[in-house]
Amino acid sequence: MKKIALVLGPLAAVLFPLLVSIPDHPQAPFMLGIGFWIVLWWISECVPLAVTALIPLIAFPFTGIATAKEIAPRYMTSIMFLFVGGFLIAQAMERTGLHKRIALAILSRWHATPMQLITGFIGATAFLSMWISNTAATMLMLTIALAVLSRIDGSELGKVTTATFATTLLLLIAYAANLGGMATPVGTVPNLVFIELIAEQSETLRPTFLQWMLVGVPLMLVGLAMLLVIAKFKVRKLQWSLSGELRVGEDYAALGKMRAEEKAVAWVLSLAALAWITRKGIVVDSFTIPGWSSLLPYQGVDDGTVAIVAAFSLFLLRASDGEAILGKAAFTRLPWGVLILLGGGFALATGVQQSGLSAWIGESLHFFSDIPFILVLLVVAVLMIFLTEMTSNTAITQVMLPILAALAVGANYDMMMLMLTATFAASCAFMLPVATPPNAIVFASERIPMQTMVRTGLILNLLMPIVIVSMLCLFRGLLPT
């Protein structure tokens, strides 16, 4: 498959302009071929995703879609500095152990019964995933979970009992990480893709940090409630108490008092979150609370600026060992592949627009206006979820959002609803280990049978489209129009 894709991709880029004619948009056939090439390579992963993301830099100038000078800036936009700053803050949390303290602080209060323990784990995982990468949150919580499970394994409970509990706990940790990423713009990469691409359509449609959270947090909470229902069903027969044997409280106490560097990172994260939430004004009917950025003499500050200010301060603040909380090694740990992948997606969206392909798609899909919008939203959510089961949610979001933007224009749909439905759905692939990094991480523990993951994930995959569409319909008035 990979060898076929390796040849078929470039071949399609050559053949499409020869076989397809779009008179009103002469560059569109070139873009169609290049787009097919990129999508095929992203899905097949015949080369690394970031390598495929470089194709626009090569192909667009040669086909007249965009010049190198036009396309290169798409690989380092302001929204990407929001990602960089957020990732550096996450590194500081890991470097100081603040993330572990937060997790154990929650678990120390929620561990007396099986349901309490599961509630504590999914709550801690979801909260961490709001601010650090889903992968990092899952890795941390898996480490703690395996330590807890080893103590349960050493208890007098039966093997079947402990196996059932372990499977449920680890599976729900992965699911909670995926759901937590939906709650904030910095929670997961598809959120950033959406913010950048919706702003390209109209800057007035860009949601603020607070507007996103007003929708994302309730959606996350409903998702977590569904996980608790699943947990209740799975562990309903487990009526034991191991609060003394688990010694979670002892683990938390062993951390001692918060060190100066932990407090510093906690303050930086708290102030950054507060600055993100209050940067833009809050409008309630005719009453407006101005955001702090409107009080500045110049109006060039955005969420990316806030993220970099916060990250910058962490290179200046000192840890108890006298070293800076973040040093030069922090830059080598940045996920440059993800950054290039992000840039490639933004470049792809620019090519779709500048070539006229988006206009042609919009003109071709105008007949969708006869289909009920709710039905379209549900179909888009289901499609995104099952596509994400097979390929990177970042890549599939970058491919689908420009197409959905064109569909919204052509069929006169609510662009915000359509694109945001797809974005949230991209975080809801729960069936397969390959779907998301959290799924893969917990599956690698070898304590989750594939059948259990598929069966449980399928239930969520079918329910989440209804939840996403319902919540967006309910909270649509809180988002820009």
47 is a domain residue: no
pLDDT score of 58: 94
412 is a domain residue: no
By percentage, how much of the chain surpasses pLDDT 90?
A: 35
21 is a domain residue: no
Answer yes or no: is pLDDT of 452 > 80.
Answer: yes
Residue range 248-306, pLDDT digits in tens: 677 778 888 889 899 999 999 899 888 888 887 766 556 677 888 888 888 888 888 99
Please tell me which residue, 236 or 417, carries the higher pLDDT value: 417
pLDDT score of 144: 83
- Residue 166's pLDDT band, with cuts at 50, 70 and 90, is confident
Q: How far apart are CA 167 and CA 449, in angstroms?
A: 8
Domain that holds residue 110: 68-279+302-356+437-447
Q: State the chain's mean pLDDT as an integer.
A: 86
388 is a domain residue: no
pLDDT score of 334: 87
411 is a domain residue: no
Mean pLDDT check: name the lowest of 15-24, 234-243, 289-298, 372-381: 234-243
Residue range 380-423, pLDDT digits in tens: 999 999 888 877 788 889 888 988 998 888 888 999 999 999 99
Alpha carbon separation from 466 to 62, 190, 378, 463 (Å, rounded): 44, 20, 7, 6
Residue range 23-68, pLDDT digits in tens: 888 898 999 999 999 988 988 888 888 899 999 999 999 999 999 9
Q: Which two tokens stand for residue 227?
A: 């996980």
168 is a domain residue: yes
- Residue 180's pLDDT band, with cuts at 50, 70 and 90, is very high
Residues in the chain: 481
| DSSP assignment of 357-411 | HHHHHHHHTGGGGGS-HHHHHHHHHHHHHHHHTTS-HHHHHHHHHHHHHHHHHHH
204 is a domain residue: yes
pLDDT score of 163: 79
Report the number of distinct structural domains present in the chain: 1
Answer yes or no: is pLDDT of 430 > 70.
Answer: yes
Residue range 67-100, pLDDT digits in tens: 999 999 989 888 888 888 888 988 898 888 888 8
Q: Which two tokens stand for residue 441?
A: 């991480």
Q: What is the pTM of this model?
A: 0.84
- Residue 161's pLDDT band, with cuts at 50, 70 and 90, is low
Tell me the mean pLDDT in the region 97-126.
83
Residue range 183-205, pLDDT digits in tens: 999 888 899 999 989 988 888 88
pLDDT score of 420: 96
pLDDT score of 178: 93
pLDDT score of 15: 92
- Residue 472's pLDDT band, with cuts at 50, 70 and 90, is very high
pLDDT score of 158: 52
Tell me the mean pLDDT in the region 153-169.
70
pLDDT score of 312: 96
pLDDT score of 342: 84
pLDDT score of 20: 86
108 is a domain residue: yes
- Residue 227's pLDDT band, with cuts at 50, 70 and 90, is very high
How would you class 299 by CB atoms within 10 Å of its CB: exposed for 0-12, middle for 13-18, buried for 19 or more?
exposed
**Residue for token digits 């890549």?**
395
Rg of the Cα atoms in the chain: 23
Answer yes or no: is pLDDT of 365 > 80.
Answer: no
Answer yes or no: is pLDDT of 244 > 60.
Answer: no
pLDDT score of 468: 96
**Residue for token digits 């420009």?**
402
Please tell me which residue, 189 or 112, carries the higher pLDDT value: 189
Q: How far apart are CA 427 and CA 185, in angstroms?
A: 13
pLDDT score of 86: 85
pLDDT score of 179: 95
Q: How far apart are CA 344 and CA 347, in angstroms?
A: 5
Q: Which two tokens stand for residue 86?
A: 């957020």
Q: How far apart are CA 352 and CA 74, in angstroms?
A: 13
User: What is the four-CA torsion angle of 152, 158, 164, 168, rounded to 10 degrees?
Assistant: -20
Q: How far apart are CA 261 and CA 92, in angstroms?
A: 9
pLDDT score of 239: 63
